Amino acid sequence: MASNRVAFVVGASRGIGRGCARHLAQAGFDIAVAARTLHEGSEPGGLPGSLDTVVSEIESRGRSALACRMDLLDRASCRAAIERTLDEFGRIDVLVNSGIDHGEGMKCFADTPIEDYDRAFSTNVTAPLLLIQNVLPSMREQGGGIVINISSGAGQNETRDLPGAGGWPLLYSITKAAINRATTGMAKELRAQKIAVINLEPGVVATERMVEVTSREGIAGAGGVSVDVPGSVCAYLASHQNPMSFSGRTVDAPQFCVWAGLIDGTTLPFPYGPAAWGAPPEIAIAGQTTGVGGGVPVPPAPPDAT
């Protein structure tokens, strides 16, 4: 059994999950990558990306990788992927929940069959909770761990634009809101076991899906940040000497990566880069304008202060 730190990354065949896996490998983690697409070119929608490709990228960074084909709608495959990782690596230090079902296009609520909501909640909410429950025993046994849930501003912010005309569908928003809220509750319950549960708000990210699919339906993804932005912050949180200090919080990746010096902030597009610096945001991203949900703590005044 390996004694190295191990991360289990869901939705790692492409997009934000792939970015997180690469940066975690660079930070010294062995990685189990989980998704439906094992081989390049086998994605039904024609999107690039596969577990095979990500495994090669991880191994090129000198780390061990394990490809786990997993479907969030298949509970047995979720449990089996966790068990296989524990058998192979002996531990899971970090779980990154990045997989998600985007639904069938940018439909308005009235045009979305209620069965689509059943599916979305199963993949976007219940499946991540299941995965968390399945890693808890090993994390408790080893004395702690970190759960990073990929959040979304759509979980608390609404646009003026309709779905398909620049806005996002309610189906996506309310499932993200559920996970955002679940993180704070789990953080409270698991703090005694030193298991940190963190929301990572990635910002608008130019993933393969965003650029090739979503942009055709009203949201311009090509101007988003690189997957290296949330990926670098994910690895920073996973490697932090005091990860419990972030537990129960929402960390805004585009802002935080600049503060922590992980990315050259001058290269970020609007509204994350210099063109927006110094101006109040139009809406509070991640619940607070500070970039860390709950605000930046202010030291208490000295006892003799008047």
pLDDT at 102 over 70: no
CA dihedral 184, 190, 196, 200 (to 10 degrees): -30
Tell me what percent of the residues of the chain surpass a pLDDT of 90. 62
The stretch 85-98 carries a mean pLDDT of 97
* Chain segment 235-264, per-residue pLDDT in tens: 999 999 999 999 999 999 999 999 999 999
Q: 117, 172, 236, 272: which one is catalytic?
A: 172
pLDDT, tens digit, for every residue of 29-80? 999 999 998 887 777 667 777 999 999 999 999 999 999 999 999 999 999 9
- What's the rounded mean pLDDT across residues 138-163? 90
- Residue owning tokens 């949330």: 230
Identify the sign of the CA torsion 269, 273, 279, 282. Answer: positive
Is residue 90 in some structural domain? yes
Query: Considering the domain boundaries, does residue 299 fall inside one?
Result: no
Say if residue 28's pLDDT is above 50. yes
For residue 190, pLDDT beyond 80: yes
Residue 303 forms part of a structural domain: no
Residue 172 annotated among the catalytic residues of the structure: yes
- Residue 306 pLDDT more than 60? no
Whether 297 maps to a domain, the answer reads no
- Residue 128 inside a domain? The answer is yes
In this prediction, residue 210 carries a pLDDT of 66
**Is 294 contained in some domain?**
no
For the cut 50, the answer to whether the pLDDT of residue 298 exceeds it is no
- Over 80: is that where the pLDDT of 233 sits? yes
Residue 219 lies in a domain: yes
Predicted local confidence at residue 166, as pLDDT: 73
| CATH value at residue 99 | 3.40.50.720
The total number of structural domains in the chain stands at 1
Assess contact for 200 and 24: CB atoms under 8 A: no
Q: How confident is the model at residue 270 (pLDDT cuts 50, 70, 90)?
A: confident
Residue 252 within any structural domain of the chain: yes
Domain with 204, as residue range(s), is 6-287
Residue 291 above 60 pLDDT? no
DSSP the chain: ---S-EEEEETTTSHHHHHHHHHHHHTT-EEEEEES--STT--TT-----HHHHHHHHHHTT--EEEEE--TT-HHHHHHHHHHHHHHHS---EEEE------SSS--GGGS-HHHHHHHHIIIIIHHHHHHHHHHHHHHHHT-EEEEEE--GGGT---SSPBTTTB--HHHHHHHHHHHHHHHHHHHHHGGGTEEEEEEE--SB--HHHHHTGGGGT---TTSB-THHHHHHHHHHHH-S-GGGGTT-EEEHHHHHHHTTSS-GGGPPTTTSGGGTTS--SS-GGGSTTSBTT----PPPPTT--
180, pLDDT greater than 70: yes
